[in-house]
Structure 1
């Protein structure tokens, strides 16, 4: 049990652009309905970097519309695995055995980023860096690897499946895809085309290879 929750039956780890980008309205709707339906129907957890920017902001928009889209059976479990040194107002979160109030007020032009308020849970990863992205990368990769070999239940005994969803993205996203596909065992990758940059290039290449 983690956070008083049962372990996930599936992990959907969302990767993509870390800078803000727009989605076509139909793609935004497809993301919202598809992601939530996949998570709710399978008992999955959704992983992101937890920061209110880029692809994670779109995940937050989907989570915000969970009830309005007709999903009523419990709240979708969404875990933001965020780099501590990049979180805006992170010192407001320091405390032991007590509640802390996190105010989502961002300083324009600053190098720190707010946590996305729509996520249900967070893991804040501190590798010692401040104001730099990537502090969560190693931990998130190890966590996903651990879960991929973790039995869903003593009765079933099989490992927890993991699937990666790619939305937009840049060169680092391409590197992450390569690592997933060459991992042992390989992690399936779902590319959401018409979202921009890396996702669109991969969609074009895959269609040409058919």
Structure 2
């Protein structure tokens, strides 16, 4: 009986060791592939908020970490600096809308040197399908309404949903979500506009941050 138990224990230990080894090997073999897919996905989104015609540098690598309450997070957020012929043309910055209907919404906003928002994309969200998820470009074209919108002040009256006197559409039955995104985008865009030189001078030290 004891011998059988020991035998079974050894078998289980061997199987566990083999499983751990296979997982480690699989992770090692796929790590580079996953990293490359993440890089391509990030580059694709960056090129959506800053057109490729506006930069000739490796945008996903030209990244610095910035911290500001205006970005909706206590943690540093990545800012990607676009340059062409050695001159800064725009910055794409990540920000958090903390007051979405179902929690925080992460966005990416592209802003040029003339205080114009080039584009906005949602990076992550948990909003209600069929209602709040219309902030996603894959669901509706609402995010395109930010394209080429200039921001003039920290509380630019146009940078609100229509229900609050602004220019951005809200969704029927789901005003909270677009309001949260518009407010976060306004704050992030103004932060970049007012701190562009400071951001550009920071060390580019966030590596493969996404």
Which band: TM-score by shorter chain? under 0.3
Higher helix share: 2
Using structure 2 for the length normalisation, give the TM-score.
0.25
Higher strand share: 2
Using structure 1 for the length normalisation, give the TM-score.
0.25
